[in-house]
Every structure is written in C-alpha cells, then in structure tokens.
Amino acid sequence: MSAQARRARPRADATRETRNVMTVPFYRHGLDESYAEAVANVLRSPFLTSGAVSKAVEAQLCAFFDVPHAILVNSWTNGAVAALMALGVGPGDEVIVPAMTFIATANVAELVGAKPVFVDVDPATLMLTPQSVHDAVSERTRAVIPVHLYGQMCDVRALRRALGKRTDIAIIEDCAHSFESSFDGQLPGEHSDAAIFSFYATKNVTCGEGGAIICRSAELFEAIAQTRLHGMSAGAIDRFASRRYRHWDMVRLGTKANLPDLLASLLPPPIATIASGCRCARLSSDATRRRSPVRRSASSRRWPAPCTPVISSRYMFHRGCATASSRRSTNAASARRSTIARCRR
C-alpha cells in the first residue's frame, strides 16, 4: 500500500477514540477589548515596568489571600527560582517534588543547582501525601514543593506536621493550577513559607505570561523582592518613589523575574471576579461530576477522587479526570524519566 493510501485509511482505534472525545478549547481566555484601556493607561504613563499598577495588584492579592505580602513575577518558573534563591537553596541541597506534575516544578530545583527528589503521589488524588514526604526527607532536604494539581489541593498543614522538627525545610506551594482553591478552609500560603501562582495564558487568572508569590514572612518577602530583581536593594519604582532619590546596591545574587505594569494592568478584573465566577465549585457531590460532559464522554474512566474537603479551582480538572485511570505514580527511581514524558501542558 502506498504511503498516500495508508494516510487516507482511517485507523479503527482512532475512530473509536474520537467518538468519545470532547474538545476542550485550551487557549480560550476571558480577556477582550475592554482591557485595552487599562493597557493604554500604562502606555500614557512614564512607567512601563513594575510600578504603581503592579503595587496595586499586589495589594489586591494580599487582600484576596489574606496575607501580608505579595509580589508579582513574570512566570511561576522564574518566581520559584527567585524564591529558592531567597531561601538559600542551592548545590548540595535536595528539593522534594511530586513525580506527577508539570516539568517546571522539578526544573526550578535544577536551575538553582539543587537536586529534585521525586516522590510518588497518591494515585487516587494525584497529591503528595504526608507519609511519602516524610519518607523522602534526608539531611540534605531544604524544600518541598507540593503541587495542587488540576485545581485540587494537598493538605499543606499535614505536610508541615510530617516535617516535624525540621524547621529548616521550606514548603513552597505550586499553585499554578489552584488560584481560588481551598482545603478545609485553608488558603494557599496559609501553612507554607510561600505559595506561587502562574498567570500563563491557559490559567484561570491570566495576563498571557506572569505569576505571583505570596508569603507571610517579612524577611522572606524582602529577600524575594531582591532575588526577583538582580539582587538589588531597591527597584526603579522604589528609587523614585519619594522626591529624594534612593540609592541602591547589589546585596545578593538575583535573577530578573519582575512583571511589567503593561501585563499587570490586565490582572485586576480577573482577580476581582474569580471567586464569584462559576468555576469555583465544591467537588464533593456526585451531581457535580455527573453534570460534566467529560463524565458523559468517558464513562468507562475512573475519576480522580476529589480531596475532600477541597474547593477546587477546577483548573484542568477535566484532564485529571480523563487521565487518572491511565496514569500511575511511579517509584522514585524511574520518576524523573516518566515525569518528563507524562507532564505536558
């Protein structure tokens, strides 16, 4: 058979698959022309980079999560690198990450010269468990990055308890999928050292590319503000905030991860409306699952168990549903290879 004929012949299994597949418009976003004015206002101002607009969004995030500190970054990935640098994580250190996540969660450990240690997730919920984290802790462990995958949430308070007296181990929540989630009333950032969000194009809250870090410690916040901006003691907006010029110095090694006002200007409406939007739902009821079209089209597949009492952001929940039956967490030895193969956006 010629190559052309082979291409034209429909594969039996492909036909069977497409009959049951629902198409989810992955890149459809909620930003429209009404946002142009906010961008135009930044263009009319003298300050394009991180300035007054960013500060206002940071204050909005502090109020949303009820935390004292928030800082905008230009991606989850760069924010996590800045946070690890601020915590002093580097060569010789280990960072515990779930074997089931997007590659960035592990990459950031490598980027600061540390070793990512892959830990199996609970196959039912796809979350890290306190026991598996406890078992993976070594003398070299300096951080754990639990991932609230597909809009659900890990029990961060329980993870903290599992670390016992190891107060030298930081918990950094990967909240790339979980802006408006909560676990038994716990919000992101409540029991961790820092929680990091992604405002990448497909996220529930987006500005195309971006992210934010929230934290409770003033000391850590100050350090992240520096590692996010070349290790400088004061960014441009702070240098010119008062009439007297404030001198700056390089006080530590830093990267470049700040978000410009041009992009930050897109964030206030999505943040203001996310909690009241219809995306936020309690997943404990079977009725919620039955209503989903994915449920109808994939009836033979097993659903990931909602980690009750979670209020999920439902970000990518369809993906967790469709793949839970075929995905199994792996043992630590093979995790690295399989994570890269499995974890695609």
Ligand X SMILES: Cc1ncc(COP(=O)(O)O)c(C=O)c1O
Tally Cβ neighbours within 10 Å of residue 1.
7
Report yes or no: 300 and 324 within 8 Å, Cβ to Cβ.
no
203 annotated active-site: yes
Q: Which is nearer to ligand X, 179 or 200 (CB)?
A: 200
Report yes or no: 206 and 29 within 8 Å, Cβ to Cβ.
yes
Q: Which residue has the tokens 């960035």?
A: 104
- Kindly state whether residue 315 participates in binding ligand X, applying the rule CB under 6 A: no
From 43-51, 71-79, 133-141, 288-296, span contacting ligand X (CB under 6 A): 71-79
Cα separation of 204 and 202, whole Å? Answer: 7
Minimum gap (Å) between residue 130 Cβ and ligand X:
20
Minimum gap (Å) between residue 28 Cβ and ligand X:
16
Which amino acid is located at 104 in the chain? A
Minimum gap (Å) between residue 169 Cβ and ligand X:
20
Cα separation of 275 and 288, whole Å? Answer: 18
Binding characters for ligand X, 134-173, by CB under 6 A (x = yes) = -------------x--------------------------
From 15-23, 59-67, 69-77, 214-222, span contacting ligand X (CB under 6 A): 69-77
Q: Could you say which of 115, 165, 203, 256 is catalytic?
A: 203
Cα separation of 336 and 44, whole Å? Answer: 48
- Kindly state whether residue 174 participates in binding ligand X, applying the rule CB under 6 A: yes
From 72-80, 115-123, 213-221, 271-279, span contacting ligand X (CB under 6 A): 72-80
Q: Which is nearer to ligand X, 74 or 129 (CB)?
A: 74
From 48-56, 57-65, 74-82, 154-162, span contacting ligand X (CB under 6 A): 74-82
Q: Three-state SS across the chain?
A: CCHHHHHHCCCHHHHHHHHCCCCCCCCCCCCCHHHHHHHHHHHHCCCCCCCHHHHHHHHHHHHHHCCCEEEEECCHHHHHHHHHHHCCCCCCCEEEEECCCCCHHHHHHHHCCCEEEEECCCCCCCCCCHHHHHHHCCCCEEEECCECHHHCCCCHHHHHHHCCCCCCCEEEEECCCCCCCEECCECCCCCCCEEEEECCCCCCCCCCCCEEEEECCHHHHHHHHHHCECCECCCHHHHCCCCCCCCCCECCCCCECCCCHHHHCCCHHHHHHHCCCCCCEECCCHHHHHHCHHHHHCCCCCCCCCCCCEEECCCCHHHHHHHCCCCCCCCHHHHHHHHHHHCCC
Which residue among 54, 77, 178, 192 contacts ligand X (CB under 6 A)? 77
Restricted to residues 81-120, the positions that interact with ligand X (CB under 6 A) are 101-102, 104-105
Minimum gap (Å) between residue 105 Cβ and ligand X:
5
Which two structure tokens, joined as six digits, stand for 95?
């960072």
- Kindly state whether residue 303 participates in binding ligand X, applying the rule CB under 6 A: no
Which residue among 129, 132, 152, 198 contacts ligand X (CB under 6 A)? 198
Q: Which is nearer to ligand X, 57 or 147 (CB)?
A: 147
Q: Which is nearer to ligand X, 211 or 320 (CB)?
A: 211
Q: Which is nearer to ligand X, 52 or 103 (CB)?
A: 103
- Kindly state whether residue 200 participates in binding ligand X, applying the rule CB under 6 A: yes
Minimum gap (Å) between residue 147 Cβ and ligand X:
5
- Kindly state whether residue 294 participates in binding ligand X, applying the rule CB under 6 A: no
Which residue among 116, 188, 211, 235 contacts ligand X (CB under 6 A)? 211
- Kindly state whether residue 176 participates in binding ligand X, applying the rule CB under 6 A: yes
- Kindly state whether residue 177 participates in binding ligand X, applying the rule CB under 6 A: yes
Which positions are annotated as active-site residues? 203
Q: What does the binding site for ligand X look like in residue numbers (CB under 6 A)?
A: 75-77, 101-102, 104-105, 147, 174, 176-177, 198, 200, 211, 345
